[in-house]
Structure 1
């Protein structure tokens, strides 16, 4: 769903309470998600927005129903609700390729970094895929949390491993949980 076009002139920042913290949703004038993060990462997200959309005016407000509704449904139990959210991300061609491939991992399933590299036809680019995965500015909608270690274990997640664990449990995915014991 991402396309490269003119940057937005205005962005709306919404705050949504979820079971794993307050989420930050940033929508453009067309109700397209441009950024997502958690309040504990707000300074980094604001810096990212400033670098990628320097001319956009950012105001606090409520995200449009077409965006906020699917997030509410997702956190209330519908693991596929976020598939309806339109998104557009600022990134390199390689990052966009990885982010689009992430969207092919269905809710309730996981894929390793090596598997993701193979999926995009670059089996030796595992490290680059990991970096692109970690640079995803529209997390949860572009489900970087569904990427796990080759051995099935939880690995890094920008929002923290406890959130990754919760998201995967919420979606019914299988993984090895090194932290629980």
Structure 2
């Protein structure tokens, strides 16, 4: 196990302060899975492990980050399997507490979008009772730390084109293409 934080607090960390994480490979690049005591709190996608670890640290300041490849092996396998065969679903307990109440509402709504379907930012905002809230919905999507578990890749522009995916438009296109084939 590797502690990622540069300094440990003077007291022993409580279980609430610890996030375990591991990095694995997938068809769309490196994936980082992280868990709190409640569930998966981050699924990050990227090309560089160091960048993924820094992103995790930035998203969870003040937390003790502990690498645990053995403990997260099953999560990484489930995520990689979902990427290759999205029809199997991704049934992991999620910890979405790190978002604002509005972000959590957006993320819950995203989780209701079926595999292979898309929604526009405007339609998403309307579902939330905020007909003029497309930009706020897009901002909530951008704040999502649980890629795939909260499928923000299923949100598109009003004209159906792809836009703004934190982990790259090509990854978004690839995920949507795989889901459309289901």
Q: Is the 8 A contact 2:23 2:30 kept in 1?
A: yes
How far apart, CA to CA, are the structure 1 residues paired with 2:156 and 2:15? 32
- Structure 2 counterpart SS, 1:14: strand
- CA 1:66 to 1:20, structure 2 compared with 1: closer, same or farther past 3 Å? closer
Report the TM-score, using the length of structure 2 for normalisation: 0.81
Structure 1 stretches of 4+ with a deviation exceeding 6 A read none
Q: Which residue of 1 aligns with 2:145?
A: 137
Unmatched runs of 5 consecutive residues or more in structure 1: 1-5, 174-181
Question: Which of 18, 22, 35 does residue 42 from structure 2 map onto?
Answer: 35
Matches within 5 A, 1:46-65: 46-50=57-61, 54=62, 56-62=63-69, 63-64=71-72
CA RMSD, Structure 1 to Structure 2 (Å):
2.0
Report the TM-score, using the length of structure 1 for normalisation: 0.81
1:122 aligns with 2:133: no
Aligned residue pairs, count: 162
How far apart, CA to CA, are the structure 2 residues paired with 1:20 and 1:68? 13
Question: Which of 92, 97, 108 does residue 116 from structure 2 map onto?
Answer: 108
How far apart, CA to CA, are the structure 1 residues paired with 2:109 and 2:37? 26
Higher CA-based Rg: 2
Question: Which of 72, 97, 101 does residue 105 from structure 2 map onto?
Answer: 97
